[in-house]
Amino acid sequence: MSQIAGEPGNQDFVEVRLPAAGAYLSVLRTATAGLAARLDFTLDEIEDLRIAVDEACAILLQQAVPGSVLSCVFRLVEDALRVTVSAPTTDGRAPERDTFAWTVLSALAGEVDSTVAEDRTVSISLHKKRGAGPGQP
Per-residue model confidence as pLDDT tens digits over 19-42: 999 999 999 999 999 999 999 999
Give the separation between CA 92 and CA 77, rounded to whole angstroms: 29
Q: pLDDT above 90 covers what percent of the chain?
A: 79
Residue 77's pLDDT is 86
Q: For residue 91, what is the enclosing H or E element?
A: none
On the 0-12 / 13-18 / 19+ scale of CB atoms within 10 A, 32 is: buried
Residue 48 is which amino acid?
Answer: D
Residue 116's pLDDT is 97
Q: For residue 119, what is the enclosing H or E element?
A: none
Cβ neighbours of 60 (radius 10 Å)? 25
Contacts of 47 (CB under 8 A, 6+ apart): none
- The pTM assigned to this predicted structure is 0.86
Residue 78's pLDDT is 83
Q: Which fold has domain 11-129?
A: Heat Shock Protein 90 (3.30.565)
- The pLDDT of 66-77, averaged and rounded, is 95
DSSP-derived letter for residue 131 is T
- Give the chain's radius of gyration (CA, Å): 14
pLDDT greater at residue 9 or residue 42: 42
Give the bridge partners for 8, in sequence order. none
